Structure 1
Amino acid sequence: MRKTLLLLVPVLLLGACSWGITLDPAGKNVRTAWSGDVSSCRELGKVTVSVMNRVGPVDRNDIKVRDELEVLARNEAAKMNADTIKPLAEPADGSQPWGAYQCGSTTLKPAGQPAAARSAQGEVQTFPIKGH
């Protein structure tokens, strides 16, 4: 019984890392311009967010870390009345800076997106990954 408990505790701790990081209702109105041109948007500032990228000696799943960073950035940008965010650098040690912009109804021009990621109107589409 004791060995089972010792094996279960680390698994539960690792699984708990993403609990509580959810997209706020206001954050749902913030889009992510992964490589879109935001030059026609008004820059509102910079948001730096961070999450745990390691639990003890174990690295967390990179996709989950990136997803959580985006969720936190969208939530923070919504507090600034921004409607668009764009990553300013790659994540490092669980932290990532994002630019917050107000673009309004401006359509972002895709820059370097593969043709398969564009819709018929030329807009970039994103698709969530189940379970992340």
Structure 2
Amino acid sequence: MTWARLSTLVFGVAVMFIVSGCTWVELTPGGEKVRELTPPEVGRCKHLGRVTSNTAATVGIFARSKETVQKEVNRLARNNAADMGGDTIVPAGPLIDGEQTFNVYRCINP
């Protein structure tokens, strides 16, 4: 392998590791107001429905960090909950391959 080819490969791997930690999903103004709670905390809230959020768990052949993927999925769920008129999300199941379902509630003025 030539030096140029090796340096290109190393550069590509380094970029993939950097990108794998990046979060691409931003909260909308409405999503910023949505919080995540646990099932016992939403007993007096109005259930509005469910949202399923998904994002890339891998970039090419590289797995993205679970924390980054979880942050993105939560942000997507919060944005979608705000669009539904909700102010709270509760995970309805685990994060699997970059996908997770959330219950959406309105707890303030239900």
Which residues in structure 2 correspond to 1:6-85 (within 5 Å)?
A: 6-17=9-20, 18-85=22-89
- On the 8 A contact 1:14/1:55 being kept in 2, the answer is no
Which one has more relative contact order, counting CA pairs under 8 Å at least 6 apart?
2
Between Structure 1 and Structure 2, which shows a larger proportion of helix residues? 2
Alignment RMSD (CA, Å): 2.0
TM-score w.r.t. structure 1 length? 0.70
2:8 aligned residue: 5
Partner Cα separation in structure 1 for residue 52 and residue 98 of structure 2: 11
1:16: how far off? 2.8
- On the 8 A contact 1:52/1:94 being kept in 2, the answer is yes
Query: How many residue pairs were aligned?
Result: 106
Partner Cα separation in structure 1 for residue 7 and residue 40 of structure 2: 49
CA shift digits 1:82-119 (9 cap, x unpaired): 1000000010111000011100068xxxxxxxxxxxxx
Q: Does 1:96 align with 2:100?
A: yes
Partner Cα separation in structure 1 for residue 38 and residue 15 of structure 2: 33
1:35: how far off? 4.7
Task: Give the AA of the match of 1:75.
Answer: N
Between Structure 1 and Structure 2, which shows a larger proportion of strand residues? 2
Query: What is the SS of the residue equivalent to 1:25?
Result: coil
Query: What is the SS of the residue equivalent to 2:56?
Result: coil
TM-score w.r.t. structure 2 length? 0.82
Unpaired runs of at least 5, structure 2: none
Closer, same or farther: CA 5–48 of 1 in aligned 2, 3 Å: same
CA shift digits 1:60-82 (9 cap, x unpaired): 21111111111111111111111
How many percent identity over aligned positions?
A: 32
Q: Which runs of 4+ in 1 moved over 6 A?
A: none
1:120 aligned residue: none
Q: Does 1:87 align with 2:109?
A: no
